[in-house]
Amino acid sequence: MHKIMIVDDEQLERDALEMMIARKYGDRVTLLKAKNGREAISCVDEFHPNIVFMDIKMPGIDGVEAVKIIKKSHANIRFIMLSAFDTFNYAREVMQQGVKEYLLKPARKMEIFSAIERVSKELDEERQEAEKKDHVQAQLVKAVHLLEGEWVNAILMNQVTEFSPSEWSELLGFQTTVGYAIVIKFPDKQETFINEMDQWIKEKLKTTFPGEVLIGVRDGYYLPCFLFSENLHDKDKRLKSKVQPVIRNLLYELKQRFHEAVCIGVGTPYQEANQFVSSYREALHTVRNLDFQHEVTYAFYQEGKSGRMPSRNRTQEQESIVINAIHNGDFARAMQELDVYLEMISNEAFSTYVQKLNELFLVAERILQTNGIVLSSYSYIVAESKSEATNLAREKLRKLSEHVQGWRALHGGDRLEQVKKYIRAHFQKQLTLEEAAEHVELSPYYVSKLFKDKSGMTFIDYVTEVRITEAKREMLDPSKSLKEICFNVGYKDPNYFSRVFKRKVGLSPSQYRERLQNLNQ
């Protein structure tokens, strides 16, 4: 429905135009009249017209001046100018303001209606274009968010070497050659309260921290984040002075808003993407030693209570092999690789030995949680000797293996079928992997993996399959146009629908329907 304003200093002209438009369009339009340019300017903010019929020659502020003033704050309004004078200078002035419609008074009904139809079509096309842009922007935001999550997950799994830093930089739109991790630990509160704090913190991180921010998926009480800055250098000593004021302010505002504290651990900045996992482990190690009740609830890695962590050099690669084996569900290999890892750290001091085992399982369980596998709260290995710690680590891996295999056997197929059922029920709208994953309370990454492992297709492939199958069924009804069918099965662009259909079926929609008709004759 359009809102139309009629501006003319002659009451007879205003009333006549109002009557013509009201009779033609009825309740499809809302009308308002103004007797001069000044009154039109004062009413436009409240009425918000889409179309304005503006008389050019009026006392005081004339139509040309009124258009200039209104367009400064309402650029999307369309004007249809009215004049009793066929004067080129008048037309030229309003055309300079972007006005395309110019009618001579007294205008005939068909001229007025044609002008309205032309302007309405232009407004509708503009609205559709804006909706398309909004949709593309929304999809882009979701895609970037998903990409960020996958990138954080790749860091935690130490798989960033599969892509070069320059490739990641191109995908994410910023330099990733210098970055550091922060890990935020939340208090033990109700999940709804934690979620509210989580959303608030994410917005603050994106808007207040220097440089670019990638935020991972919170599992339980830990939220991993990676920050990147062109102004940092490897192990930059100025990191603390740059980031500390921002952290203090964030914690202060959080306390004022939620009356609760979080703990923040900050890792060391590194230049190479394959070193970012070290920064994450440093941040995680640091935040675990912080207490919500203390006055200061943040610390930089160098200030960790347990001092600096031992160098990982040769053991870091083996640690990643164990974690990847756990993540891939290959627990026979995971147990073998764990024994190799235990041998490699066997000469460490007892406290360091236990600490490394706890960090290994903490990271492994965090990745499993991220991928949708529900685990109970983490229990630390507590031992009196290395041999006891070794036995506890092997037992922990065995139990973890049983839990994950049982969980996947119980939930994997069921969850996939739930996702498929959700798709079949909602294929008419714009579906996203994140939406479907949220419906079954799994991560997008895990849902994507379920599709590939159990169906041999991607999420998008399945959505397309459901839509094309439904389109074929609807084509059996000759009363439905192909354009109508396109919209019914979830596509907004008939051309795109036609391309997808032909790619999947081997025939265009019109060719397929023609074949159906020939078969039925």
pTM of the model: 0.43
Confidence band, pLDDT 50/70/90 cuts, at residue 308: very low
More confident residue, 397 or 311: 397
At residue 87 the predicted structure's pLDDT band, cuts being 50, 70 and 90, is low
Higher pLDDT, 331 or 125: 125
pLDDT score of 52: 93
Confidence grade of residue 100 (pLDDT, cut at 50, 70, 90): confident
CATH fold label, 158-303:
Alpha-Beta Plaits (3.30.70)
Residues 6+ apart with CB under 8 A from 392: 381, 383
Provide the 10 A C-beta neighbour count for residue 254.
Answer: 19
* Separation in Å, CA 182 to CA 206, 236, 256, 268: 13, 15, 22, 9
Q: Is the model's pLDDT at 33 over the cut of 90? A: yes
pLDDT at residue 499 is higher than 80: yes
Q: Look at residue 238 in the predicted model and tell me its pLDDT.
A: 66
DSSP string, 271-320: SSGGGHHHHHHHHHHHHHT--TTSS--EEEGGG-TT-SPPP-HHHHHHHH
Sequence-distant (≥ 6) Cβ neighbours of residue 289 within 8 angstroms: 299, 304, 305, 306
pLDDT, one tens digit per residue, over 512-521 is 888 887 776 6
Neighbours of 117 (CB within 10 A): 10
Least confident of 222-231, 272-281, 287-296: 272-281
How high is the pLDDT of residue 388?
92
**For residue 34, what are the β-bridge partners?**
7
Angle CA 218–219–221, to nearest 5:
85
pLDDT, position 311: 46
Higher pLDDT, 236 or 480: 480
pLDDT at 402 over 60: yes
Q: Say what the pLDDT of residue 304 is.
A: 44
pLDDT at 310: 41
pLDDT at 440: 72
Q: 2-28: b or e for each residue (b if 16 or more CB lie within 10 Å)?
A: bebbbbbbeeebbeebbeebeeebeee
Pull the structure tokens for residue 62.
Answer: 């004339």
User: What ranges do the domains of the chain cover?
Assistant: 2-128, 158-303, 313-407, 461-520
The lowest-confidence range among 37-51, 190-204, 446-460 is 446-460
pLDDT at position 7 is 93
Mean pLDDT of 498-505: 89
Greater confidence (137 vs 416) lies with: 416
Give 126-183 pLDDT, tens digit per residue: 888 888 777 766 665 555 555 566 666 666 655 554 555 556 556 556 655 678 889 9
CA angle 119, 125, 129 (to 5 degrees): 145
The arrangement of secondary structure in 461-520, i.e. its CATH architecture, is Orthogonal Bundle (1.10)
Over residues 441-461, the pLDDT tens digits come to 666 666 777 777 777 788 888
pLDDT at 114 over 80: yes
> What proportion of the chain, given as a percentage, has pLDDT over 90?
17
Specify the CATH superfamily of domain 2-128.
Response regulator (3.40.50.2300)
The pLDDT tens digits of the residues spanning 199-255 come to 899 889 888 887 788 887 776 688 888 888 766 554 555 677 778 889 989 999 999
Peptide bond into 106 cis (omega under 30): yes
Q: Say how far residue 226 (Cα) sits from the centre of its chain.
A: 17
